[in-house]
Structures are given as C-alpha cells and as structure tokens.
Chains A and B, each alone.
Chain A
C-alpha cells in the first residue's frame, strides 16, 4: 500500500478539522473563513461540518479579530484565527505585540492565551502589492510569541495541531507558495515537536539553513550542487521560536560551512540572527564566513519582477562558490562598505 499524496493545504485543513472534533474549546474565525472556506480554502467545509459557532466569519478588522480572540482565550476558548495575508496582519500588530505576546508575563503566569494566529506569508505566487511580505522577523523579535513555519504537509498538520494544543500564543506562518505542494504523508501525522529542526538532507561539506518557503529551494540547490562536487546538508528550522540551536550548531560544526536561505529582506532579519548564533557557537569549526542568501532590502517587488528578488538555486550555488574552499578572501567583501 502506498502512502497517500497530500498537499499542505489539505494537511492544514485536516489539522483544523481534527482539532475542532477533539476539543470543544477550539473556535476558528477570521475574514472569509466561514462559507467560503478562506481565500486559500484552508478552512474549507469546517462551518458546514461544525456549525457557525465553531467556524465563523468576522467583520473585516484585523486588530478586532486578534483582540476578540484575546478576550475569548481569557474566557476559556482556544481561538485559531486567520489573518488573510501577511501584510494585512499589520493593523493587528499592536494587539499582538502589546497584549498577545505579553499577557502571560505581565500577569505572572495567571492569564495564559492559548491561541493561534495563522498567517499566509511570503511570496512566489504572483501576488500583487501587499500580498507577499515575509514578516517573520517582527514576530520572532517579540518575546512571548512562538513562531512556526512548516515546509512539508506532514509538518503542516503536526505543527498546527501542536500550536492549537500549546498553552502559549503561536504565530503560524504558512508559506503560500507551498499550499499546493505535495508530500507523501498519511494523516494524522505527528512529527518532531516545537523547537526541533529537521535535517532534510544529510551532507558533509556545508550546511544550508532554510525555513518555510525556502526549504524546497535549498533542497533543489543541494541536488544541483552535487554536480559541482558539493555534498550539502539541509536543515529545516520548522520553528523560529523556539529556536533549535543544538541541531544547527551540530550540523555546522560537522560541515564547517553555513549558508542561510530566507526570502525576507536580509538586513536585521531572522537570517542575520542565525548567522550571529552560528558564528558565536561554531567559530572554531568554520572554514569560511557564514553567508546569507536572502531577498534584497527592498519593498517586495511587483509580481512580474519577483523571480529576480527571491532566493533561487543559482544564487545559492553562487554563495557556495564564495565559501572559500581555496581560502581566498571573498571579493565582495574587499571594500569596507556596500555589497551584500
């Protein structure tokens, strides 16, 4: 018997369905998540199956959705809310940063907010302006939030179930361009818990660290690099917070080289944090500077230009070329300022 082929969208839908069935306290709400089933159909069929009380549409107001969820969580529910697109989540940022993230801490553990904020994020789907932001750094930089981003259908199911069961608020970032990508996985699947990165490919020469939308790109690059004689390891972070220092450190100490791949603008991004952590922990194992392949430091470009912005296989291979196997300084960093 073969393992069924499942899209990430189906996996997320199943996770919500199973969570609604297992726990009466779970409620799903947001814009268009009811009858329509969400603009990406992640909540498809949930209202029909569980009723209007369990999966419902709200007024079109993101701060309201998040604040309302805070109140419902205080009242004993477990809200799982959808903010329709990355850039449309910004009106809710005050609620997230000032209340969702801080409630447990400011009440000395007396008020917990078990809630999940699902946000379709990142690019690669030809979306017009304000539909493609990689906003993970804002959340990862906010203590009190857990930040999760799956790259496979199995993880999508498992991490979403875990997020809903978690006693803390979780920002659940869904890479839009992977919604329709398939994995061979039978649901319900349970994979490694929060805080564990996964090694998607074993290799000896360098470590590619990726998460969410860049995991398949990193894997593709690793295959392409074989021809050039590279044996690459690919680490999928799965959760940005909590961050798995252990797996990343062990991998880079073994390979001695590290390239971080992320879609977000590089400056002050999650990739920069990883690079800092790697050099703090792996300095004496490193044979080359830690490099980043990221989006440029520009507002997300119009859809017809996005292929020039997003990290791709060639850019990762170029970075590998700069990993100083022959111990010459990287020509891009010869001047004191500027590039990369």
Chain B
C-alpha cells in the first residue's frame, strides 16, 4: 500500500522556472515549444464560450447581491481561465471539489445556476445533488475538502473506475494544515487527484508574501513527492494544456498533481469586502490587461478559429443565461422550516421528532394568527 512514490530526483517534480505560458498578454503565441501539448481548437473554442457566459453569470450574481437577492457573493471575475479550465479538463464521471468561489466553474459543469447559488442566497447549504454531478458541496472551511478529494480519488483508484478528482483552493488555503495533509495522503496512497491552487494574490486582504516564504506555491508539492507545475492562470491555453496533462498523469496511475495558477480576482473578496483598503487600482489595471477572454479571443481569431459570428453567439448566450438567472432569482425561494429536521440522521432521533413537532405547533399558531 504505502508505496515509494517517486523513483527519480526532486528535479522531476519541480515546477518550471517560470509559469507556463502559451500566450502573451495580448494573445500572441509565445515562441518556442512547450513540454505540454497544445489543446485542440475545439476545446479552446468551448473554453472561450464558457468564459464569456461565465463572466456574464458572475456579473449578474454580483448585481443580484446588490439587489439583496444573494446574502453574499464571492466573485471569480478575472479568474475565468481557471474556473472554466478546471471543469473542461475533467470528464463527466470525474469529481470536482470546489470552494465557495467556484460558482462559475459549477455553472460551466452544467449545474443549474439557482442550485449553484442556493448556498449564497441562503435557502440551502448545497442546492445540487453532488452524486448526480460528481461535484462535492461548495466548501467554506479552507482546504478541508482537499483531503476529501484525496480520499475519494483513492476510493476510485481502489475500484478501478479510471475516475479522477480535482480540488480547488486559493493561495491562502495553502497555509492550512489540511492542504498539507491532503498532499501527503494523496502522494502516499497514489491517489489520482489534481490540486489546483488559484493564486489570486490575496487571501481577503493578506498578500502572498505573508502566506509563504516558499519560492512558489507549486514548490510545496515537491516535499510530498508530487509532480508540480505553475502556470499563467490568465492564459486559458496554458491552463488547459497543464490541466489536461495533469489529468492524464493522474488517470494513468502516476498519482497526484499540483498546479499553481497565477491569476487575480478583479472584484473584492465578496460584496462585503473593500479591496481599495489593501490594493491599488494600478495593480488591478495591470491584471486587467492580461484578461483571459481577450487573450484567447485574439489568439483564436488570429488562427481563424473564431469568427464574429462565434463571438456574437457567445454574447447572446451569455445575455440569455443572465436573463434566465435574473428571472429565476427574482422569485422568492420556497422555504420549508420543518425540513431543517430532515437529514440530521438517516432516521430522526425521538428528541428531533419532539423538536419538529414543537416548531410545527409554532408555525401553525403563526398561520392561525395571520
């Protein structure tokens, strides 16, 4: 069981000297050959469309929050390449372990946006069926779900299913103990799992240099015997290239893979946060210039893989998506207070039955008064 994970030296595990890039900031192809194969035009076209829809979804969710329709919304505006890339690199049966900032990834996965947003609207802790979509509940406690991903991936390996898992974390969560335990367990048990760190430079307000003194977050994998890589997280081509290679690595029995993607959240941590207190407009502007959608669009157009018709279609799809979301979210959710007592246990305890009966009387009394 406990197998010597890695035969070669640590240099085989180390990330590249500089983040992997396929595109320049303006979307031109970077010179030279990469060790990672270029993703197919078809995959890149899908990524483009999903990013356009995803960004519009994100903006709509932010707007709904300002209108009081969501309790809170952690935006992933600016991180579209990672949000979309993480999902497109997986197959349907593979498992995805999101944090609370992965709403865009979850709609890309095909989950109904109202189900995705139930947690943030506040009518349910998890609005979708994890087993149906192979997506774990959105995880708020930092890095805790990375250990689940390791365990689940190991379970899939034991069953010989060929399925893998991918867990998302941010730069701040790499300081949590669970992140390290997850890397260690995954490596020791050769679990087919990808850890995708979206390094968006800030853990709420705390910058990266207060999280770590490591050469990079990707270097953290080496100590556990994990193949690690860093990538320009605003370069959708590079993100997909590295994620696809990582999925192949995990699926073919080589164990876990750690990816650090350099990106930036253009919005505040949530609507309740004020990013101007800890970062400058100039910095945000610098990252806006590296916009993943614009870069991919420029690249695909130059190669003849994207037409005006395509971009217009994506824009229309995005508007339709947002319109449907507005309509759906402007309806008040149906609440079932007695349902709070469901699913505490498979079969409720006698005490829970008593408490449910007590709340039921309260509700009936309120109704009689109304």
Q: Tell me whether A99 is interfacial, beta carbon within 8 Å.
A: yes
A109-B342 in contact given A74-B155, A99-B148, A195-B349 (Cβ < 8 Å): yes
| Contact in complex: B346, A63 (CB < 8 Å) | no
Q: Tell me whether B144 is interfacial, beta carbon within 8 Å.
A: yes
Q: How far is the CB of B164 from chain A (nearest CB, A)?
A: 12
**Interface 0/1 of B119-159, CB less than 8 Å to A:** 00000111001111000110001001111111111111011
Please give, as numbers and ranges, the residues of chain B lying within 8 Å of A53 by CB-CB distance: 1, 158
CA distance A64 to B342 in the complex (A): 29
Q: Tell me whether B248 is interfacial, beta carbon within 8 Å.
A: no
| Contact in complex: A71, B178 (CB < 8 Å) | no
A168-B345 in contact given A95-B144, A99-B148 (Cβ < 8 Å): yes
| Contact in complex: B141, A98 (CB < 8 Å) | yes
Please give, as numbers and ranges, the residues of chain A lying within 8 Å of B159 by CB-CB distance: 75-76
Q: How far is the CB of B7 from chain A (nearest CB, A)?
A: 20
Q: What 9 A-B pairs have minimum CB-CB distances, sorted nearest first?
A: A71-B151, A75-B155, A67-B147, A64-B181, A106-B125, A71-B152, A68-B151, A109-B343, A71-B148
Q: Tell me whether B253 is interfacial, beta carbon within 8 Å.
A: no
A108-B124 in contact given A59-B188, A63-B181 (Cβ < 8 Å): yes
Please give, as numbers and ranges, the residues of chain B lying within 8 Å of A111 by CB-CB distance: 130-131, 137
Please give, as numbers and ranges, the residues of chain A lying within 8 Å of B181 by CB-CB distance: 59, 61, 63-64, 67
CA distance A91 to B176 in the complex (A): 12
| Contact in complex: B130, A110 (CB < 8 Å) | yes
| Contact in complex: B345, A146 (CB < 8 Å) | yes
Q: Which of A126-134, A219-227, A241-249, A286-294 contacts B (4 or more CB under 8 A)?
A: A241-249
| Contact in complex: B342, A108 (CB < 8 Å) | yes
A-B contact pairs, 29 of them (CB 8 A): A53-B158, A63-B177, A64-B185, A67-B148, A67-B181, A67-B185, A68-B151, A70-B147, A70-B148, A71-B150, A71-B154, A75-B152, A75-B156, A77-B155, A94-B141, A95-B144, A95-B178, A99-B145, A104-B345, A105-B342, A106-B137, A107-B126, A107-B137, A108-B343, A110-B130, A110-B132, A144-B345, A168-B345, A242-B349
Q: Tell me whether B280 is interfacial, beta carbon within 8 Å.
A: no
**Interface 0/1 of A166-204, CB less than 8 Å to B:** 111000000000000000000000000001000000000
Find residues 200-242 in chain B having any chain A CB closer than 8 Å to their own CB.
Answer: none
| Contact in complex: B178, A64 (CB < 8 Å) | yes
Q: How far is the CB of A273 from chain B (nearest CB, A)?
A: 11
B147 interface neighbour in A63, A75, A102, Cβ under 8 Å: A63
| Contact in complex: B144, A99 (CB < 8 Å) | yes
Please give, as numbers and ranges, the residues of chain A lying within 8 Å of B132 by CB-CB distance: 110
Q: Tell me whether B350 is interfacial, beta carbon within 8 Å.
A: yes
A72-B154 in contact given A110-B131, A146-B345 (Cβ < 8 Å): yes
Please give, as numbers and ranges, the residues of chain A lying within 8 Å of B342 by CB-CB distance: 105, 108-109
B residues contacting the other copy or chain, number (CB 8 A) = 45
CA distance A108 to B126 in the complex (A): 8
Q: Tell me whether A139 is interfacial, beta carbon within 8 Å.
A: no
Q: Tell me whether A157 is interfacial, beta carbon within 8 Å.
A: no
Number of inter-chain CB pairs below 8 Å: 148
Q: Tell me whether A57 is interfacial, beta carbon within 8 Å.
A: yes
Q: Tell me whether A69 is interfacial, beta carbon within 8 Å.
A: yes
| Contact in complex: A242, B144 (CB < 8 Å) | no
**Interface 0/1 of A60-100, CB less than 8 Å to B:** 01011011111111111100000000000001001100110
CA distance A72 to B144 in the complex (A): 14
Q: How far is the CB of A90 from chain B (nearest CB, A)?
A: 12
- Known: A99-B145, A242-B345; 13 extra A-B contacts, CB below 8 A, are A53-B1, A59-B184, A61-B185, A68-B185, A71-B154, A98-B144, A104-B345, A107-B125, A111-B131, A112-B346, A241-B349, A242-B351, A245-B351
Which residues does B use to contact A, with CB under 8 Å? 1-2, 124-126, 129-132, 136-137, 141, 144-156, 158-159, 165, 177-178, 181-182, 184-185, 188-189, 339, 342-346, 349-351
A residues contacting the other copy or chain, number (CB 8 A) = 49
Please give, as numbers and ranges, the residues of chain A lying within 8 Å of B129 by CB-CB distance: 107, 110
| Contact in complex: A243, B349 (CB < 8 Å) | yes
Q: Across the interface, name the chain A residue whose C-beta is closest to B349.
A: A242
| Contact in complex: B147, A57 (CB < 8 Å) | no
Q: How far is the CB of A59 from chain B (nearest CB, A)?
A: 5
Q: How far is the CB of B173 from chain A (nearest CB, A)?
A: 13
Q: Tell me whether A56 is interfacial, beta carbon within 8 Å.
A: yes
Q: How far is the CB of B234 from chain A (nearest CB, A)?
A: 31
Query: A66, A107, A167, A245 — which one has the most chain B CB atoms within 10 A of its CB?
Result: A107
| Contact in complex: A68, B343 (CB < 8 Å) | no
| Contact in complex: B350, A242 (CB < 8 Å) | yes
CA distance A56 to B178 in the complex (A): 21
Please give, as numbers and ranges, the residues of chain B lying within 8 Å of A94 by CB-CB distance: 141, 144, 178
Please give, as numbers and ranges, the residues of chain B lying within 8 Å of A56 by CB-CB distance: 1-2
CA distance A104 to B342 in the complex (A): 9
Q: Across the interface, name the chain A residue whose C-beta is closest to B118.
A: A108
A168-B151 in contact given A67-B144, A106-B125, A110-B131 (Cβ < 8 Å): no
CA distance A245 to B344 in the complex (A): 19
B185 interface neighbour in A58, A99, A110, A166, Cβ under 8 Å: A58
CA distance A57 to B126 in the complex (A): 33
CA distance A63 to B184 in the complex (A): 12
A75 interface neighbour in B2, B151, B178, Cβ under 8 Å: B151
Q: Tell me whether A306 is interfacial, beta carbon within 8 Å.
A: no
Q: Tell me whether A4 is interfacial, beta carbon within 8 Å.
A: no
A57 interface neighbour in B2, B145, B148, B151, Cβ under 8 Å: B2
Query: A70, A98, A146 — which one has the most chain B CB atoms within 10 A of its CB?
Result: A70
Query: A64, A166, A242 — which one has the most chain B CB atoms within 10 A of its CB?
Result: A64
| Contact in complex: B152, A106 (CB < 8 Å) | no
Q: How far is the CB of A172 from chain B (nearest CB, A)?
A: 16
| Contact in complex: B155, A72 (CB < 8 Å) | yes
Q: Across the interface, name the chain A residue whose C-beta is closest to B186.
A: A68
